[in-house]
């Protein structure tokens, strides 16, 4: 089996490494904060001191970081991923970033190192990842995809090749805008029921078992009864994705009215000091506007 590398060991990246280690894969990892990697090291992951060290030790290198700027930080410079890439290696970025930059980076990888790059963002949360239900979207060279696909299947059962570099990131942005828009619509429904005299608990129970229930509504809808202190996907991260969607929509002449509206509610959440919560906190924004104090 190929030697694997993973850069960015947050909740999602760390969860993927856990699944790879459980599948018997050899993984070398790096994270900006080493303490977050200690449980993975205890499970058998090999620690490296830089993205370059991970890349030099690996045949297939994965990364997942917060945004385009963070991808630039781990790929460029003397300790970056590009410095360790050589022909035959495959670099797979799982971050949600600018599709244009993803394409530029893939071209840079090919021209400067002779390696190949895929974009392979994941649809799902820490919950779906733990359940082994994550979905991967992949863009880039088809032969490189075929080499990486068995590794991705060790993490989740659904892997789709969508064509050239950048297309998978665009698909991820299209998916993520729907998450936020669904949450806003769900929140409207719960509040309408609540102000009609139905308890919030009853409204949530009915809605998560109704025709409108999606996997996201199923696991995130109950957050309106009590938001987790540790955000699954906070407002800053979701707003970053919605801004990417709005930018892409403007570039492609696709109107995104519900996305733009939902984005404003995330801005309101941050203005109310709620931005560190999971993006489902937009329920509380609507609740306050409706005259309901949620206590947050």
Confirm whether 147 is a catalytic residue: no
141 and 8 in a common domain: yes
Domain range enclosing 192 = 170-289
Q: How many domains does the chain have?
A: 2
pTM reported for the whole predicted model: 0.91
186 and 47 in a common domain: no
- Residue 150 in any domain: the answer is yes
**Where among 164, 186, 208 does a domain terminate?**
164
153 and 32 in a common domain: yes
Q: What CA–CA distance (Å, rounded) separates 168 from 158?
A: 14
Residue 217, C-beta contacts closer than 8 angstroms, at least 6 positions apart: 182, 183, 186, 207, 208
The pLDDT value given to residue 194: 97
pLDDT tens-digit map of 83-118? 999 999 999 999 999 999 999 999 999 999 999 999
Half-sphere exposure of 12 (CA within 13 A, CB side): 22
55: domain CATH number? 3.40.50.720
Q: What CA–CA distance (Å, rounded) separates 47 from 245?
A: 35
224 and 275 in a common domain: yes
- What are 91's strand-pairing partners? 61, 117
pLDDT tens-digit map of 244-266? 999 999 999 999 999 999 999 99
260 and 202 in a common domain: yes
Catalytic residue among 167, 172, 195, 230: 172
The pLDDT value given to residue 196: 97
**Where among 164, 187, 217 does a domain terminate?**
164
98 and 29 in a common domain: yes
pLDDT tens-digit map of 167-178? 999 999 999 999
- Residue 294 in any domain: the answer is no
pLDDT tens-digit map of 177-224? 999 999 999 999 999 999 999 999 999 999 999 999 998 999 899 999
206 and 266 in a common domain: yes
- What pLDDT band is residue 229 in, cutting at 50, 70 and 90? confident
- What pLDDT band is residue 230 in, cutting at 50, 70 and 90? confident
The pLDDT value given to residue 124: 85
- What pLDDT band is residue 128 in, cutting at 50, 70 and 90? confident
- What are 116's strand-pairing partners? 90
Identify whether the C-beta of residue 113 lies closer than 8 Å to the C-beta of residue 82.
Answer: yes
194 and 142 in a common domain: no
198 and 136 in a common domain: no
């Amino acid at each position: 089996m190929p030697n694997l590398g993973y850069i960015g060991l947050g909740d999602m990246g760390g969860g993927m490494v856990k699944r790879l280690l459980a599948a018997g894969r050899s993984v070398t990892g790096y994270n900006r904060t080493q303490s977050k990697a200690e449980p993975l090291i205890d499970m058998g992951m090999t620690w490296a001191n830089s993205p370059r060290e991970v890349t030099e030790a690996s045949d297939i290198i994965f990364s997942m970081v917060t945004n385009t700027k963070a991808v630039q930080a781990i790929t460029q410079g003397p300790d970056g991923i590009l410095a360790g890439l050589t022909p035959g290696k495959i670099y797979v970025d799982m971050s949600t970033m600018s599709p244009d930059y993803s394409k530029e980076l893939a071209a840079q990888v090919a021209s400067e190192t002779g390696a190949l790059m895929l974009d392979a963002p994941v649809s799902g949360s820490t919950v779906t990842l733990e359940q082994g239900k994550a979905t991967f979207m992949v863009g880039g060279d088809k032969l490189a995809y075929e080499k990486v696909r068995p590794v991705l299947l060790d993490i989740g059962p659904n892997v789709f090749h969508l064509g050239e570099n950048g297309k998978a990131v665009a698909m991820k942005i299209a998916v993520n805008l729907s998450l936020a828009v669904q949450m806003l619509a769900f929140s409207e429904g719960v509040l309408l029921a609540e102000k009609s005299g139905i308890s919030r608990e009853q409204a949530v129970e009915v809605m998560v078992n109704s025709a409108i229930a999606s996997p996201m509504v199923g696991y995130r809808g109950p957050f309106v009864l009590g938001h987790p202190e540790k955000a699954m996907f906070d407002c800053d991260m979701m707003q970053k994705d919605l801004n990417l969607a709005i930018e892409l929509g403007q570039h492609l002449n696709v109107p995104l009215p519900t996305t733009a509206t939902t984005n404003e509610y995330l801005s309101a959440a941050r203005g109310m000091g709620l931005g560190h919560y999971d993006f489902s906190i937009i329920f509380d924004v609507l609740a306050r506007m409706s005259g309901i104090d949620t206590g947050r």
